[in-house]
Amino acid sequence: MEFIDLKAQYRALKQEIDSNISQVLADTDFIIGKQVSEFEEKLAAYVGVNYAVGCSSGTDALQLIYMAYGIGSGDAVFCPDMTFVASVEPAFMLGAEPVFCDIDKDTYNICPDSLERQIKAVCAAGKLKPRAIVAVDFIGNPADYDKLRSLADQYGLLLIEDAAQGMGASYHGKKCGALGDIGATSFFPSKPLGCYGDGGAVFTDSQEMNELLRSLRVHGKGSSKYDNVRVGMNARLDTLQAAVMLPKLARLDDEIARRQEIAGRYDEALKDKFVIPHICEGTVSSYAQYALLAENVQRRDEIREKLQEQGIPTIVYYPNPMHRMKVFADCFMGDETFENTVDYADRTFSIPFSAYLTGEDQERIIDVLLSV
Ligand SMILES: Cc1ncc(COP(=O)(O)O)c(C=O)c1O
């Protein structure tokens, strides 16, 4: 059994994907070909923003954002303690310091109370300048944007949405990617909208920011790529990847609907034995992962082993909270104990999930989980 069945998705979309790839090969317009702008326009319309700027990965999307806002030395970037390192790694590379915040014990997203404590602690310590919050739609579940918006406004912070795991999800009718001052996403193959390699995008409503990002993604170009007006990156989205994603984007809402059905079935069957995902009223998760919590770390590991024996793969997203990573060992931690992140990391495991998971496989997974 596949953990995320990308092969089944390819079989379903094969004709369109193959034909789009053939077209790119025939055109040999591999760099910023017409499929890139077509994809960017359709993606911006889908997310509900004025501009989507395609780029080379989710990590690079975040780096472009940090560069565009001049985030660097002396700046504090507030980030959930439970995320993938790339949420904040590019800011750290640019000289800023990540300040981790505990997660909410139900949604596993950044906890607004912990965030406010950390903002106050940074202000009191007086060494770093609070600059930005990077909110992550963790495993596809939108963060608490109403509270984050009001904290961002109160403390004068930029609100960046890391929607790498949230494509297709929504918060009170607005799509993920459009929920902060600026948003980033990843098209890593296993993401809800994935390509066949690396890719990403930045979302903005501002024309000025759109132009700046387009310059930054091509070596800081001015009027042409041989007229460089700032330091930039080589961070373009490949034409081939855009061509692969055009049919996937057209199908994304159908896939998200199918994901709700499968999650509903898992929820119903597993709710008495495990802690199931908590999706807040008015929000739709993309279920980038379907994560369960076991009683404790030993039980979690036993269950994973039993599932493995039955040929059912599981993955832990993520076993290591950010505050425990060696790379961030010298960063400002305040007085936080990160209790919820540690508890989550010890108990979580994700089970096979995709819009293409068959009813038979769902049943088998549920049966094994109920019998362990
Ligand atoms: C939350 C989060 N942010 C950023 C990234 C980085 O995306 P990419 O792998 O495309 O660089 C990922 C990818 O795993 C992610 O999950």
- The amino acid that residue 179 corresponds to is L
pLDDT digits (tens, 9 = 90+) for 239-287: 999 999 999 999 999 999 999 999 999 999 999 999 999 999 999 999 9
166, 177 contact by CB (below 8 A): yes
pLDDT digits (tens, 9 = 90+) for 6-32: 999 999 999 999 999 999 999 999 999
**Percent of the chain with pLDDT strictly greater than 70:** 100
CATH architecture type of domain 252-371: Alpha-Beta Complex (3.90)
Residue 107's pLDDT is what? Answer: 98
Q: How many residues does the chain have?
A: 372
What are the C-alpha distances in Å from 196 to residues 6, 39, 68, 235, 256?
Answer: 10, 15, 27, 16, 20
CATH code at 6-100+109-248: 3.40.640.10
In this predicted structure, the answer to whether residue 209 has a pLDDT above a threshold of 90 is yes
Q: Delimit the domains of the chain by residue range.
A: 6-100+109-248, 252-371
Cis peptide bond N-terminal to 318, omega within 30: yes
Instruction: Enumerate the H helices of 180-238 as residue ranges.
Output: 207-216
**CA 111 – CA 102 distance, rounded (Å):** 6
Residue 9's pLDDT is what? Answer: 98
Q: Which atom of ligand 1 is nearest to the CA of 200?
A: 10
pLDDT band of 225, cuts 50, 70, 90: confident
What are the C-alpha distances in Å from 85 to residues 92, 187, 282?
Answer: 10, 16, 28
pLDDT digits (tens, 9 = 90+) for 138-185: 999 999 999 999 999 999 999 999 999 999 999 999 999 999 999 999
**Three-state DSSP class for residue 135:** strand
Residue nearest to atom 10 of ligand 1 (CA): 58
Q: Which atom of ligand 1 is nearest to the CA of 60?
A: 11
CA atoms within 13 A on the CB side of 48: 13
Residues having CB closer than 6 A to ligand 1 are 57-59, 83-84, 86-87, 136, 162, 164-165, 186, 188, 198, 200
